[in-house]
Amino acid sequence: MLFYKIVGQNIRKYRQLRGYSLQDIAEEIGVIAKTVQRYEMGEIRMDVPRLGDIAKSLGVKTSDLVAGT
């Protein structure tokens, strides 16, 4: 689960740097804001396509989101 916690921290970091809300990302990737929040907390796992969707919505590379894992 440490992997998902680090990925979640990276998602939150880039989301906040860009001034996006949880809802902004949720709408972009087709989930509810609570799901994005749970991704950020490392509470739920995501598959590679979902990780790619999140990276695209944040304007970063998928490798940026897994940095430090």
pLDDT of residue 5: 96
Distance CA 37, CA 23 (A): 9
Residues of the chain with pLDDT below 70 are none
φ/ψ (deg, to 5) at 31: -130, 180
**Whether the predicted model's global pTM rises above the 0.85 cut:** yes
pLDDT of residue 48: 94
pLDDT of residue 43: 95
Distance CA 58, CA 37 (A): 15
pLDDT of residue 8: 97
pLDDT of residue 69: 83
